[in-house]
Structure formats: C-alpha cells, structure tokens
C-alpha cells in the first residue's frame, strides 16, 4: 500500500508541475506577443515562477520517501 501511495504522490506532483509550467509559459508568450519591449522582465518573472512550480515535484518525492520509510 505504501508503494501505491508513493507512486500517486510523485505522479500527481509531476502532473501538477507540468500543468503549472504550461500555464506559466503560455501566459508569458502571450505577454511578450502583446508587449515585446517587456520581454526580459516577463522572462525573468517566468523563470522565477517555473522554479517555484518545480519545487512541487521535489516535495512530492520527499513525501514519497517519507511514506516508504515508515
């Protein structure tokens, strides 16, 4: 049962991160298309957002290891 819980935790974390990254990048492309002069600012904000979203799968892996360790 612990293996299933760990697999679900990692899978949902990866799914959430994929959806989040897709939304962030698509909105950044829309913003650059509307105001090309703000490309560098929007790109910086996008990278910060992507880094924060990528923390989710890392937390999911940590939770999976905790579940497997008990």
The domain spans of the chain are 1-68
User: Which residue is listed with tokens 């650059």?
Assistant: 32
**pLDDT score of 63:** 84
pTM for the structure as a whole: 0.81
**pLDDT score of 70:** 67
**pLDDT score of 28:** 96
The rounded radius of gyration (Å) of the Cα atoms in the chain is 16
**What architecture (CATH level 2) is domain 1-68?**
Up-down Bundle (1.20)
Query: Which two tokens mark 53?
Result: 């979203």
**pLDDT score of 67:** 84
**pLDDT score of 21:** 95
Q: Which residues of the chain have pLDDT under 50?
A: none
Q: 10 and 57 in contact (C-beta within 8 Å)?
A: yes
């Amino acid at each position: 049962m612990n293996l299933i819980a760990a697999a679900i935790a990692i899978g949902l974390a990866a799914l959430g991160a994929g959806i989040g990254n897709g939304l962030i990048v698509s909105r950044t492309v829309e913003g650059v298309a509307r105001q090309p002069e703000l490309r560098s600012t929007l790109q910086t904000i996008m990278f910060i957002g992507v880094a924060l979203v990528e923390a989710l799968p890392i937390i999911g892996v940590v939770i999976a290891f905790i579940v497997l360790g008990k």
